[in-house]
Amino acid sequence: MPKSEFAPAKINLTLEILGRRADGYHELRSLVAFAHDAGDVVTLAPGSSASVETSGSFAGDISGSNLVDKAISAFAAKVPGMKPPRLILDKNLPVASGIGGGSADAAATLRLLSKSYPGIADRDLHTIARALGADVPVCVRARPVIMTGVGETLEEIALPQEVYAVLVNPLIAVPSNKTAHVFAALGAAPLTAPPEAEPAPRLSNVRDVIAYAKARGNDLQAPAQKLFPEIETVLAELHRTEGALFAQLSGAGPTCFALFATKQEAVAGASALRQRQPNWWIRPTRLG
């Protein structure tokens, strides 16, 4: 019986960049949520040949070595004698799009392998995840958190049950090192002192989430928009969608999200948008 792990899209509801560290990475604070019904799927398939096979709409867009392969190698390095598995990656999320697709796939692979090899401590899994990418630890957790550090410090937070979003990606070509470009374009000041800790917000309903997201914003939105002007069109389209209460960029983009109070409004908003922009990737989803 094949075992599967869902690799949900990651959405940065907020993204504050607090300063640049000496190693070039940035300290940040981000409210991160995950999509209930938009994601890739990683399946451990029967068979003796070690391989990673890809299927799905965006399988052909992965460039360089697949983060799933890197996750397997990093995990295997901690498990002497581990038999390399045969994995199938169903790639439904657009690549290099700011919703952490590759990170989510690496994280799902680590969760899958750690179920087969339960000897690996959570602490070791976290270290492996961090070495694979700044977004991989949060994707291993795959629950709403306030993420700080460069992405390694995770504080779980309760999100209201009913938060609906529409995710929109214009499917423009972006370079594979897009995230580094966007951080560089921000030109953040060097950190002079460690950022101050602050208590996690209390988010009781969708209005609280929107107020917090509006107040904190996404510091990468302006530089990303300068590099990829299509983002402005995506945000304008989301703002004019009926029922959309708030719209912003996720991560380094170009995927943007809008928030809705009900599932019906998110589904209707997504279909109205699809009528206007048939070539975009548009997904209504519940966030959690």
Ligand X SMILES: Nc1ncnc2c1ncn2[C@@H]1O[C@H](COP(=O)(O)OP(=O)(O)OP(=O)(O)O)[C@@H](O)[C@H]1O
Ligand Y SMILES: C[C@](O)(CO)[C@H](O)COP(=O)(O)OP(=O)(O)OC[C@H]1O[C@@H](n2ccc(N)nc2=O)[C@H](O)[C@@H]1O
Q: Enumerate binding residues for ligand X (CB under 6 A).
A: 62-64, 66-68, 95-103, 105, 135, 176, 179, 251-252
Q: Which of the listed partners (ligand Y, ligand X, none) does 29 bind, with a CB threshold of 5 to 8 Å by partner kind?
A: none
Q: How far apart are CA 61 and CA 111, in angstroms?
A: 24
Judged by beta carbon, residue 33 or residue 68, the one nearer ligand X is 68
Q: Cα angle vertex 174, ends 172, 180, to 5°?
A: 145
Task: Report the alpha-carbon distance of residue 74 to residue 71 in Å, rounded.
Answer: 5
Determine whether the annotation assigns residue 95 to a binding site: yes
Q: What tokens were used for 115?
A: 């179920």
- 88 is known to lie in a ligand binding site: no
37 catalytic? Reply is no
| Stretch of 59-67, 71-79, 177-185, 197-205 lying at the interface with ligand Y (CB under 6 A) | 177-185
Would you give the binding string for ligand Y spanning residues 28-47, x where CB under 6 A is met? x-x-----------------
Contacts of 191 (CB under 8 A, 6+ apart): 18, 19, 20, 21, 27
For residue 38, what is the enclosing H or E element?
Answer: strand 26-45
103 binds ligand Y, rule: CB under 6 A:
yes
Given ligand Y, ligand X, none, residue 63, with its beta carbon under 5 to 8 Å by kind, binds ligand X
Measured from the CB of residue 41, what is the shortest distance to ligand Y in angstroms? 20
The residue from 5, 8, 12, 112 that contacts ligand Y (CB under 6 A) is: 12
* CA distance linking residue 28 with residue 147, whole number of Å: 8
Q: Tokens at residue 3, please?
A: 């075992």
Return phi, psi of residue 254, to 5°.
-85, 5
25 part of the interface to ligand Y, by CB under 6 A? yes
| Burial of 241: CB neighbours in 10 Å, binned 0-12, 13-18, 19+ | buried
Residue 8 in the binding site for ligand Y (CB under 6 A): no
Q: Tell whether residue 26 is a contact of ligand Y (CB under 6 A).
A: yes
* CA distance between the termini of the chain: 28
Q: Which is nearer to ligand X, 40 or 237 (by Cβ)?
A: 40
Q: Give me the half-sphere count of Cα atoms (radius 13 Å) on the Cβ side of residue 21.
A: 9
Is 200 part of any known ligand binding site? no
- Least gap, CB of 56 to ligand Y (angstroms): 20
SS (H, E, C) 240-253: CCCCCCEEEECCCC
Q: Which of ligand Y, ligand X, none does 88 bind, CB closer than 5 to 8 A by kind?
A: none
CB 100 to ligand Y: min, Å: 6
Residue among 40, 90, 135, 219 flagged as catalytic: 135
Distance CA 83, CA 117 (A): 11
Decide if 10 is catalytic.
Answer: yes
Q: Which residues are annotated as a binding site?
A: 94-104
Q: By CB under 6 A, name the binding residues for ligand Y.
A: 12, 15, 24-26, 28, 30, 103, 133-135, 150-151, 179-180, 183, 251-252
